[in-house]
Amino acid sequence: MDQNSLPPIQTTARDDAVLKALVGFVRAEALQPGERLPTERILAERLKVSRNTVREALTRWEGLGLVERRQGSGTYLKAAVSPDMLHLPLTLAGGNDFTSLMHTLEIRRALEAEAAALCAERASPGDIAEIERKLDIMEQAFRTRDGMSSEEDWEFHQAIYRVSGNPLFEQIIAAMHELFHRFWEHPLGVRDFGHASFPYHRTIYERIAARDPQGARDEALKLIATVEDDLKRGAAKLKLPSRT
């Protein structure tokens, strides 16, 4: 390892400085996700900083999911780091109340509509073919199992996010996906949960294939509207509290 890739730090604001130094180190050594980074003791020595300070910095990274610590083994990089990253530590109130779920659904509506519109603008013929393939798979699964198929449905939407050309859509919605799945798995007692949204998948695809951004946006809005509707019906049926 290059000794010079870990120069001592200087000013106050230690732990932030440690993080910056670590970013520099990861770049200098071209560390890939999965690789191990130096031990806390070595980092402390190299950076001329107490081990506790190193630990505070690593705790921050661990909280952001950038790094994983394994006692007795070491600290491992979990994701790529770049000098200027944007961290959004979103904290959503518990997923078991109706209001929170509606909130995340509103975010999804916003992003879904925009992604569909961008997708309609930018999709290449190959992209359109790919989306159609996912759509066919989804429709097939829907018919055989006679109900919404979380997995295939999700893949269809992911394809749209990907083709939108903006990785942020996929990242944000993927993060929220977990929250939705708490309910997707248990359809709230609504027998045909998700049935209403089914036809809109194809209409969205058609608007994308026709390169009609506004049309794609409108269809996406309709799709989410049906999901909101199902959600409201389920909430009413279960007498879900509107607040925790």
Q: Can you tell me the distance from the alpha carbon of 172 to that of 223, in angstroms, rounded to the nearest whole number? A: 19
Q: Can you tell me the distance from the alpha carbon of 152 to that of 228, in angstroms, rounded to the nearest whole number? A: 20
* 40 or 230: CB nearest DNA: 40
Tell me if 10 contacts DNA by CB under 7 A. Answer: no
Q: Can you tell me the distance from the alpha carbon of 105 to that of 193, in angstroms, rounded to the nearest whole number? A: 15
The gap from C-alpha 40 to its chain's centroid, in whole angstroms, comes to: 30
CB of 63 to DNA, least distance (A): 12
Residue 175 CB partners (closer than 8 Å, separation 6+) = 90
CB of 174 to DNA, least distance (A): 22
Q: Which of 5, 150, 158, 166 touches its own copies (CB under 8 A)? A: 166
Structure tokens at 146: 């006679």
Tell me if 1 contacts DNA by CB under 7 A. Answer: no
Three-state DSSP state, 36:
strand
Choose the stretch contacting its own copies; rule: CB under 8 A; options: 62-70, 127-135, 149-157, 195-203.
62-70
Binding mask 39-68 for DNA (x = CB under 7 A): xxxx-x---xxxxxx-xx-x----------
* 138 or 173: CB nearest its own copies: 173
In what side-by-side order are the strands of the sheet with 36-37?
36-37, 74-77, 67-70
Q: Which of 6, 19, 21, 75 touches DNA (CB under 7 A)? A: 75
Q: Which of 23, 42, 110, 141 touches its own copies (CB under 8 A)? A: 110
Three-state DSSP state, 187:
coil
Instruction: Work out what residue 65 binds among its own copies, DNA, none; the CB cut-off runs from 5 to 8 Å by kind.
Output: its own copies
CB of 143 to its own copies, least distance (A): 30
Contact 17, 10 (CB under 8 A): yes
Q: Which of residues 89-108 bind DNA (CB under 7 A)?
A: none
Tell me if 70 contacts DNA by CB under 7 A. Answer: yes
Tell me if 55 contacts its own copies by CB under 8 A. Answer: yes
Contact 182, 95 (CB under 8 A): yes
Interface with DNA: number of residues (CB under 7 A): 26
Q: Can you tell me the distance from the alpha carbon of 227 to that of 90, in angstroms, rounded to the nearest whole number? A: 23
Contact 148, 195 (CB under 8 A): yes
Name the residue among 23, 153, 25 with its Cα closest to residue 82. 23
**Max CA distance (Å), the chain:** 65
Tell me if 19 contacts DNA by CB under 7 A. Answer: no
Q: Which residues bind its own copies (CB under 8 A)?
A: 52, 55-56, 59-60, 62-66, 79-80, 82-96, 103-104, 106-107, 109-111, 113-115, 118, 164, 166-169, 171-172, 175-176, 178-179, 244
Q: Which residues bind DNA (CB under 7 A)?
A: 11-15, 39-42, 44, 48-53, 55-56, 58, 69-75
